[in-house]
A = this chain, B = another copy of it.
Amino acid sequence: MLCLMSLCLSIWAVLMMPGRTSALTAKIDVMVMLPHNNTYLFSSQRVSPAIQYALKPLGRAEFAGLEFSVQYVNSACGMDALYALVDKQRDERPDLLLGPVCEYTAASVVRVASHWNIPVISAGALATGFSLKATEYSHLTRIAPTYLKMAETFQAMFGRFGWRTASLIYDDDKDERNCYFAIEGVFTVLSEYHIATDYAVLNSHEERVDADGIIASVYGSEVVIMCAKADTVRDLMLAAHRRKLTTGSHIFFNIELFNSSSYGDGSWRRGDKYDNEAKAAYSFLNTVTLLRSTKPEFEDFSMEMKKSLQQLDIPVCEGCSAVNMFMEGFHDALILYAIALREVMSNGLTKKDGLEITHRMWNRTFEGIAGQVSLDASGDRNGDFSVVRMTDPEAGTHETVMSYFGTNGSFQIMPGFKREWFSLRTAPEPPHLKHSDPSSGGLGVSAVTGIIVGGILGTALLLAFYFFRKNYRITIERRTPREECDIGKHRQLREDSIRSNFSAA
């Protein structure tokens, strides 16, 4: 019996061996980890037409012999993707993972996949923590420009225009935390560049946003960089305009994530009584967004995607592109994988040589659906970004005024560009500066007046010391029981694990 069993097992093992993938034919098991919920821009239904589109040419010509079998796993921002992966027995493990997009989900999945020598390509997992690929994230290739790459656009502008200080304002939803991770990237890059940064965090999901209070905190910074929901950006710009911070003492930026209008995209119109004021305020706002492509092949792709989405009853806005960066990214992911796999196999290796395939994808430029895609030496895509600005303050229309190309770090200046938009005419003032004038010499000589002024100022100083704590080097914050805060439950509950090998024990 034992003998028979071992015979069976050996035959079975031989059948299952990677060696079965001979020469240039291979059946590739692809596990796609995306949410079923269509409220996500990267839902399975949205992305699957792009993946199908990519598979068409992969059966032909130079890729003949590669047969892709795609399995979709429901992966929102929770742990289901991890569970689906760890439930795979050794012989059932996929050859390629596409996704997950959410950072927290991706962290767990990429760790296990890397440990199992499975390549992972994601158009998400954009956070800075994934950049260190020495150990835990060794098999991760990021096919969409990461937040660090986006942040390089800011670094280049700071260098070009000579700005020195920045206020970072972001909406932390404590769930996907896209703005939080985006601003983390900006902070990381600007810090390396020795730009002093303040930050203000808000949570539009849980509390009314005190736009004026936040804007009151940016006085000392030359550049204000916001990442928030479109309506919050509008509130912030209105507050800044009312406080006259748009008069040349500050430069305002807004990060439009994922080419998605749900993050501020420069559109000021809401049909409310503030529209005119907002239009005026937005004439001082610059929006950083992914560079949009105009390649002819992309139009075909875009048309087909639109058709597919409409068939699936997924609403597509009129006049705007049906293709988001996730659809584009996962399309290109398959192309990139096929190129790398073919090379690896022509060297006598197989689809199971995950690390080798991964490294073949890195440090490579290839033709994606929307144009050239260039991956850096650690497998992160170089990004091209546009700066969009209102060019007609009357009509309130905006257009791209400059573009930044991550591959070579160059700027392209567009006809609509005006140098003055990016020049500080006056230095940012510390707040309430005028209070110092009367006390420093503008008084009469009456002793009583002097003492009264001294007394008032002394009391104010006392109150200032009492309420405004020293906040340099030692972080001290006053809390009230109900207040949502750093040390509070929500934040701590989510601590862990996009951790690098540096921070690991």
Would you call B488 and A493 a contact (CB within 8 A)?
no
- Interface residues in A189-205 by Cβ distance below 8 A to B read 190-202
Tell me whether A395 is interfacial, beta carbon within 8 Å: no
Task: Say yes or no for A477: interface residue by CB 8 A criterion.
Answer: yes
Interface positions, chain A 1-46, Cβ under 8 Å from B, are 1, 4-5, 8-9, 11-12
Query: Are A464's CB and B466's CB within 8 A?
Result: no
Given A108-B108, A454-B457, A457-B439: A198 and B478 interface contact (C-beta under 8 Å) = yes
Contact B505 A77 (CB under 8 A): yes
| A470 and B430 alpha carbons, distance in the complex (Å) | 13
CB pair B477–A454 under 8 Å, yes or no, is no
Q: Is the C-beta of A420 less than 8 angstroms from some C-beta in chain B? A: no
Contact between B500 and A497 (Cβ–Cβ < 8 Å)? no
Binding stretch for chain B, among A79-87, A358-366, A404-412: A79-87
- In the complex, chain B residues whose CB is within 8 Å of the CB of A188: 488-489
CA distance A458 to B213 in the complex (A): 22
Give CA–CA (A1, B440) in the complex, Å: 99
**Stretch from A253-261, A277-285, A443-451 that touches the partner:** A443-451
A465, B432: Cβ atoms under 8 Å?
Answer: yes
Q: Are A474 and B214 in contact (CB under 8 A)?
A: yes
Copies of this chain per assembly: 2
The answer, yes or no, to whether A436 is at the interface (CB within 8 Å) is yes
Q: Mark A191-230, 1 if CB is under 8 A from B, else 0.
A: 1111111111110000000100110110010000000000
Counting CB contacts under 8 A, is A481 at the interface?
yes
Give A299-349 interface residues, CB cut-off 8 Å to B: none
- CB contacts (< 8 Å) of A480 on chain B: these are 196
A457 near B461: Cβ-Cβ < 8 Å: yes
Q: Which residues of B contact A183 (CB under 8 A)?
A: 487
CA distance A79 to B471 in the complex (A): 35
Q: In chain A, residues 115-165, which have Cβ atoms closer than 8 Å to a Cβ of chain B?
A: 115-116, 127-129, 132, 136
Please give me the residue from chain B that is nearest to A462 by CB atom: B436
Contacts of A90 in B (CB 8 A): 89
- Report if A459-B487 is in contact (Cβ < 8 Å); known contacts: A77-B504, A213-B470, A481-B192: no
Which residues does chain B contribute within 8 Å of A416, judged by CB atoms?
none
CB pair A478 B471 closer than 8 Å: yes
* Complex alpha-carbon distance, A454 and B459, angstroms: 11
The interface centre, meaning the residue of A5, A458, A500 with most chain B CB atoms within 10 A of its CB, is A458
Among candidates B184, B435, B449, B464, residue contacting A468 with C-beta atoms closer than 8 Å: B464
Bound together, the chains give a CA A133 to CA B425 distance in angstroms of: 57
Roughly how many angstroms separate A82 CA and B198 CA in the complex, as a whole number? 38
Q: Please pick, from B11, B451, B505, the residue contacting A76 in the complex, using a CB distance under 8 A.
A: B505
Beta-carbon nearest neighbor of A468 in chain B:
B468
Q: A5 touches which one: B12, B214, B216, B493 (CB < 8 A)? A: B12
Known: A435-B462, A461-B461, A493-B502; 6 extra A-B contacts, CB below 8 A, are A191-B481, A191-B482, A199-B479, A436-B459, A450-B451, A461-B464
Can you list 10 pairs linking A and B with CB atoms under 8 Å apart? A87-B115, A129-B492, A194-B481, A220-B466, A443-B451, A464-B465, A473-B483, A475-B486, A494-B495, A495-B497
